[in-house]
Structure 1
């Protein structure tokens, strides 16, 4: 099938388009400046050269270069495109078009003004409770949709939560699905534990309990982000090693709980370290000004046992968010 665009003809199937050369993309879009840069490429703000008034004209373009080590496009880019073609929700970033060129792959998607990490850095402290409630509900709506479609994100963090400004309010978009997976029951495939930035990583991932890595690991990350919006900084910061962070998690949430010994290979080691400290649990003790309802929801999201952790659907029914 041939798709005619301004001054360039590309072969097209659905949203996938084949370009003879990546630079021909500028016959279709106007470069508006670089919006970010990562390991595999860059994100560029672009404007569609020809459009109708009803269409959005500004987009983000993620340009991923071929990885010489694997002689092709990084699998994270292929996985993200594959998943996002099927995920359509107001709180999940939407792919508009994909252009495949000999030297790179270019993904055109919705444009967002900022992300939650940069927004919180700009605020310089906790967000207002009403805004936290609004953003958390949107985040849960998007994650619940993903989970209902058998997809778990595995890398939720403030930098991957995009914010669009619309009529004076923020519309939240979950982005960066490069580490995402689709799950099925029973859970037979063992995924890599190297997921999620350490400050938002669920304890079952730290402890190597592969059989318990399901949608619940996303809910732990949501709980960390939820608490961070109240605190103004990551709740488990201060440690740089995996062992230090997981120890801090247990001290902050449940203390020396017998559940620890059931969470994978490292559980007994953590149990021994906690027992030596002989400390009592002090659940998120530095969040005194947080409403009791928010603390209750937070603790349900940060339940140590993933089987007891609240689901996205359950969290949306919590009184604090109603």
Structure 2
């Protein structure tokens, strides 16, 4: 059993990662062959004091399983798959889905989160992977209730710097030309984005975009203070939390959902480049086309709104997201 020794402990609380080798011989080795490996991760769910949790929130925080998957995969990559510390870990794509709503309801102050992890190294060169596919089954208090996935890429320092520099120049040039710096008329009340505490609000009030969607400025500075990540980078989980806040706001505007009693049930993101912490970031959102503008229904009859989001710096797209929001009624 390993306790993941990262700065994430202050966000996730005490947590453990257990490797499940496929053969008895593997127990004797301190690393794994570059093939699919299985792990079990467990932690106590937030009491509302870590990440962006709210003590009054009706649901457990979706950021918890996603951040748990990211941290566990990064630790396993170094410890078991021999990925050098000098390589930069980059999230190429990620997703999460709630498959059963009831376990996510906060009926007690705490719950137990477990992940059944499968980590598959890809693009292996001399026994060291250049990427990793990560899949997890999420359970709360022993009941399976969701999935999470990610594709990680491990970049050499020079390649990483080259991508960062190119993207920064492109964004700076488009911002200088007057593209993509979204003026905000203010900050939404926290209840409009599913929170009670105004310090957890990471987006500004939106402006209309081409009459077909909304554009929200994203507060990267506030996110850097609240969310775990690597110094000098925009936190990876910012995209999930900003997506959730934008999606809840948009579902209320488009379909009359009540944000504090709605939840993000599906999120799928692909990343096109790096967001820079010193440059303006904004998120655009459009609703999926539905008959007569009405939301769909999930198997339990709850209204579900489908949304398409894009994160941009200037006119450069750094991430595209497909999301669904369900109204718990």
TM value normalised by structure 1: 0.29
More strand as a share of residues: 2
Higher relative contact order (CA 8 A, sep 6+): 2
Return the TM-score normalized by structure 2: 0.28
Structure 1 or 2: more helix by fraction: 1
- State the structure with more CA Rg: 1
